[in-house]
Chain A
Amino acid sequence: MKRIYAKEEYCIGCRLCEIYCILKHSGHQTLVKAFRDEENLPEPAVLVEEEGAISFALQCRHCEDAPCVAACIAGAMTRDPETGIVHHDQDKCVGCWSCVMMCPFGAIQIDLEQGKVVSKCDLCGLEGTPECVAHCPNEALVYEDHGD
């Protein structure tokens, strides 16, 4: 399947990937409108790690044998056998954090107050190139099929 891959050598830590991920999942069309609606601003499903000169952006890897799906006690994490996307169903999530325990990438964003997983990459619903990739100014994110 096509997955997002990061090239940390090219990442400049600008975090535009986070911004456009938020916009895509905010329900708004423009950045101005999305960010004015602060209360309803979703968490980004891409996480930028940065230390000194090194940085890279990380999303859910949509693993074939996804450990989060194995771990989820609520049936909230499932992998679509057709598309390969690992989906998270917020309505079913009970906030047990088993997925956090199992994800070797630490790619799952949680909210302890809400008691739920709040953000997880959905590859922008497979509607073309994911927003984080499309808006990366330095091509540090690529969307490619490596035959797995």
Chain B
Amino acid sequence: MATERYDYVMVGNSTAAIAAIESLRRHDAEGTTAVISGEPYPAYCTPLISYLLAGKVTEKQINYRPADFYARLRVAPRLGHAVVQLRPVEKEVMLDDGSFVAYGRLLLACGGTPVVPNLPGTHLRGVFTFTRYADACKIRGYLNEAQVREATVIGGGMIGVKAAEALADLGLRATIVELQDRILAQALDEQGSAMARRALEKAGIRVLTSRGASALEGQEGRVKAVRLDTGALLPAQMVIIAIGVVPNAGLASAAGIAVNRGVLVDDHMRTSDPDIFAAGDVAEGYDALLGETRPVAIWPSAYLQGQVAGANMAGAEVAYDGSVAMNSIQICGLPTISVGLTAPAAAEEVLEYQSPDGQNYRRIFLRDGRIIGAIFVGEIDRAGIITGLIRDRINVSEFKEKLIGRELGLLALPKEYRRHKVMGPGIEV
């Protein structure tokens, strides 16, 4: 069998790979391109699996791009067979069916793997992780087949919270067990987290913080309860483990490519091999606010990194300005947005707004005259104006108090910056 060869090969088929394809086609309309993934379906919206589980969206709605995407962008979808080996010297990858695909330039966009803690009982039936479409299908299947009334989610981060919301929507008694003293601790400060917790509790979800699981206990091979580190037993006929995701860096490290926690990339998203790029959850790129590299497993960064990688793969010179960690998540009807560094310890000054009814909360964290983080809970209108100031590293010392008033608008910004942003350069007045 002759080895297939493509100018560009994407390993992975989620947002980073799709962004890379969309971007490289702007620079190279002709270069042969393939996308390879172990998942046998077109790109889908990974964060929507909780909506899918809850029945809020259909299978069709979770498609990330229109059905003709691959054909229109002249990409060969090689879906259903995972890459098992990367051979940088031969410039080819081996698939799990033993076939080889050769590349001119390669993008590693193979995402992350959920962490499963080393606890007794994680092998039991009814224990799931929740990061892929197949997980949502398995969970649905289990709910149809087993008698599930109570479900426990281990981990109170984004994935855990959205999983618990979906389970509650399905009428289950859901409990979140979080090791830290508050949920969503990476995104929200104490007050924001407390508001999120109240929204969950109002929806009937129990939230246990400062609690860990010490074992999953079963009966006839099926999970029946979670043993907490306090010794208490929490009945649960289903358990979802959502304590985090680590980069899928195995392919790269086995091939001798530089890996730290994720696959290390420069500001062009290039790995230590000049013809191999990495983007998304697998990559460890520059964090604009921390000033160091780290894996940032969030959707917008995956897209932006993929976009930069695709352009550079096609020979353009585009530099990535660094990730800004950010999350927008609606929790049982309560909108929350967090951007940048939201641990108060990192800030020199904190601006705060709170509506009299306690329903809306906004906090802006400043350091050296610049915004390094922001939290919006409840009223989130036009929050991106703040994100823009963070990403553009604008010194806000002169107008910062205007950013925290009730209504956020571009009028709060100095005229010259506003003109530059909105009116466009070169407008005559």
Chain A interface (Cβ < 8 Å from any Cβ of B):
3, 5-9, 49-51, 54, 56, 58, 61, 65, 67, 69-71, 73-75, 78, 81, 91-92, 94-106, 108, 110, 112, 115, 146
Chain B residues close to A by CB (< 8 Å): 19, 22, 25-26, 45-48, 51, 56-57, 61-65, 299-300, 303-304, 307, 326-330, 335, 337, 339, 380-385, 387-389, 391-392, 408-411, 418-419, 421-427, 429
Task: Supply 17 further A-B pairs (C-beta < 8 A) apart from A7-B427, A106-B383, A108-B384.
Answer: A5-B427, A6-B422, A6-B423, A58-B422, A61-B422, A67-B300, A70-B307, A73-B299, A74-B48, A74-B57, A100-B380, A102-B300, A102-B326, A104-B388, A105-B410, A106-B382, A146-B424
Given the complex of chains A and B, what is the CA–CA distance between A99 and B380 in angstroms?
Answer: 11
Alpha-carbon distance A58/B300, docked complex (angstroms): 24
A95 partner residues in chain B, CB cutoff 8 A? 330
For residue A84, give the distance in angstroms from its CB to the closest CB of chain B.
11
**Distance between Cα atoms of A5 and B385 in the complex (Å):** 18
Q: How far, in angstroms, from A140 to B425 measured CA to CA in the complex?
A: 16
Taking a contact as CB atoms under 8 Å apart, the answer to whether B391 and A104 are in contact is yes
A111 to B120, CA, bound (A): 46
Across the interface, A146 reaches (CB within 8 A) one of B300, B330, B419, B426, namely B426
Instruction: List the 10 closest A-B pairs by CB distance, nearest first.
Output: A104-B388, A106-B382, A103-B384, A70-B303, A73-B47, A75-B64, A101-B328, A71-B300, A98-B328, A97-B328
If A97-B328, A100-B337 touch, whether A106 touches B381 (CB-CB below 8 Å) is yes
CA distance A3 to B26 in the complex (A): 20
Query: Contact partner of A97 among B22, B46, B335, CB < 8 A?
Result: B335
Knowing A73-B299, A94-B56 touch, does A58 contact B48 (C-beta < 8 A)? no
Quick check: A106 and B47 within 8 Å, CB to CB? no
Contacts A5-B427, A91-B61, A101-B326; is A54 near B307 (CB within 8 Å)? no
Given known pairs A7-B429, A49-B409, A54-B411, the reply for A106 and B384 (CB within 8 Å) is yes
A70 with B424, Cβ < 8 A, contacts A75-B65, A81-B25, A95-B330 known: no
Task: Indicate if the CB atoms of B408 and A3 lie closer than 8 Å.
Answer: no
| Contact of B304 with A70 in the complex, beta carbons under 8 Å | yes
Give CA–CA (A65, B425) in the complex, Å: 17
Known: A97-B330, A101-B383, A106-B384. A112 touches B335 (CB 8 A): yes
**What chain B residues lie within 8 Å of A92 (beta carbons)?**
61
What is the CA–CA distance of A105 and B421 in the complex, to the nearest angstrom?
A: 8
